Amino acid sequence: MLCGVRTQPFQSGHGPLSPGSRAGLGAALALLAIVSAVELADGRPAHYVALMVAAPFLAAALASWRVVLGVGLLATGIGAAFALAEQTMSLVTAVNVAGIALATAIAGAVAAVRQRQSERIAELSRLASVAQQAVLRPLGPQVGTLAVAARYISSTATAEIGGDLYEAMDTPYGVRMIIGDVRGKGLDAVRLASIVLGSYRHVAYERADLRAVVTDLDRAVARNVGDEDFVTAALVEERGGTLTIVNCGHPPPLLLRRGAVIPLEPPAPAPPLGFMPVVRPRVERLEPGDRLLLFTDGLGEARRDGEFFPTADRAWRLLGHGTVADGLASLETALVEWVHGRLDDDIALVLMEYTGPRSATAAPVPSWEVGAAES
């Protein structure tokens, strides 16, 4: 789960300086060196001491408050040295040195406040990542007859949290997977995603028909959302080489077979969970080596200069070789390069490969036929 540069907490102890502190210290020392060189070249009286007041503020933009105070004390000392070098210290020079000392105190206070805020943001980011990982369990590398890999790409560099969800389980009715996208972001979206996944992890083992699973999930969503909230979802079942898909307002999965990329559109559109969807299953017969890409709409909306990422055109070249984990890594790299590292929405990706039947025994009846077989 990845995207971009993360916020780093500033070091507040006595250990090695953080990158921000080193940058702030370097910039401040460079300023002091330049002002001192100009002052020495100009001669007496001290004309440029007042410029040193910028050094602690420059350090405060990046460094910890301890570094800021150190820079301020150094600037004050250098200013005082130039002032004492005058035969007769002028009032302006004395005021300038006092101004450097006052600026040091102010810059130190500013740095302390900024440092506390940065540490708080870093802690919230860490907690958000933990919450996301608690909702989305790692998948694969093998679930039943399927090789499976998943990735979560966050659009926000400072936190990995959102409403995209996925799961894959080996149930009595075959390998079942879900991918979904909660409307909205933040903790409310994570809460609803956790409700959907919790319900799915239960009913996927209890309901023989995927349509019954959809009904149960719709009830769970309806009980926990407002009038304008919903969850798009695609549910997939592999049983005995038969692939069954039901789609509730979600982007259709892509089937990769012998160099071709086939969007598995549903037989009829259905609304998202929360709007009482009535779904019709799409059934495909799998061949060993077939791969299926499940994704959320962040992938379809990724664009640069108004041009969308050509998922279908590049899917086979990116996903059709190596392991399924290698394929998703290639897709993520190509996607991030395409958008120059700027995504508008989180993206969840699940890639599965059908490796063939478990044994030579007769294939079980897929879930969409179970009701008819039992009646």
Highest-pLDDT range among 9-23, 47-61, 158-172, 325-339: 325-339
Res 373 pLDDT > 80: no
**Which is more confidently placed, 81 or 157?**
81
Most confident of 48-52, 149-153, 154-158, 244-248: 244-248
Max avg pLDDT among 132-146, 290-304, 353-367: 290-304
Per the CB < 8 A criterion, the answer to whether 167 and 200 are in contact is yes
Query: Span 134-144, mean pLDDT?
Result: 85
- CA angle (288, 289, 291) in 5-degree steps: 120
Predicted confidence at residue 236, as pLDDT, reads 98
Please give the Cα distance from 20 to 147 (Å, whole number).
43
Give backbone dihedrals phi and psi of 291, rounded to 5 degrees, phi first: -125, 150
Q: Which residues pair with 303 in a beta bridge?
A: 308
CA–CA distance, 144 with 243 (Å, rounded to integer)? 13
**Residue for token digits 């055109």?**
313
pLDDT tens string 40-82 = 887 766 778 888 989 898 888 888 888 899 999 998 998 888 8
User: Six-digit token pair at 62?
Assistant: 């990046």
Collapsed DSSP state (helix, strand, coil) of residue 158: coil
How much is the pLDDT for 16?
Answer: 67
- Average pLDDT score over residue span 237-247: 96
Average pLDDT over residues 135-160: 82
* 136-354: CATH class: alpha beta
d(CA 233, CA 204): 14
| 242 in Cβ contact with 285 (< 8 Å) | yes
Helix (H, G, I), strand (E, B) or coil at 213: helix
The residue behind tokens 């897709």 is 331
Over residues 22-40, the pLDDT tens digits come to 887 888 888 889 988 888 8
Query: C-alpha angle 359/364/366, rounded to 5°?
Result: 135
In terms of Cβ atoms closer than 10 Å to its own Cβ (0-12, 13-18, 19+), residue 226 is exposed
Is residue 239 classed exposed, middle or buried when 0-12, 13-18 and 19+ CB atoms within 10 A define those classes? buried
State the pLDDT at residue 6: 39
The ranges assigned to domains in the chain are 19-128, 136-354
Select from 20, 22, 17, 21 the least CA-distant residue to 7: 20
Tell me the longest C-alpha to C-alpha distance in the chain: 109
CA angle 238, 243, 244 (to 5 degrees): 100
Cβ contact 200:219 at 8 Å: no
